[in-house]
Amino acid sequence: MMEDALIAHAKAVSIRLEITPRSKESGIQGYDEWRKRIRVSLREEARGGAANKELLRMIGRLFEVDRDSIKITEGLRSRRKTVTVAGIGLEDALRTLTRGLQ
């Protein structure tokens, strides 16, 4: 089901996320079947872009890509975001996200 949150592009994958800022821990928490989004918790508060910066760092570490390969393409000021990661394929993204589940 998690694959429903992923959108494949020619040389990238977009990932639909549901963000919970100000959490105890940062990480991938699971999959929301109703919203078809991957649930992510972040320690940072959603002020001044702090949560977005933490999200980009976390995604970069998870996928082992540099910051220039990741962009928030939808929902910059929303809890519902889409992040696009360049240089990865759909199967790699699914495998990495599944491995990253807490």
Q: Using a CB cutoff of 8 Å and minimum separation of 24, what contacts does 22-25 make?
A: 22/46, 25/102
pLDDT per position as a tens digit, 29-68: 999 999 999 999 999 999 999 999 999 999 999 999 999 9
Per CATH, is 2-100 categorized as 3.90.1150.10? no
Phi–psi pair at 94, nearest 5 degrees: -60, -45
CA angle 86, 78, 12 (to 5 degrees): 10
For residue 101, name the pLDDT band (cuts at 50, 70, 90). confident
Q: How is the chain split into domains, by residue range?
A: 2-100
CA angle 2, 36, 101 (to 5 degrees): 40
What's the CA gap between 30 and 68, in Å, rounded?
26
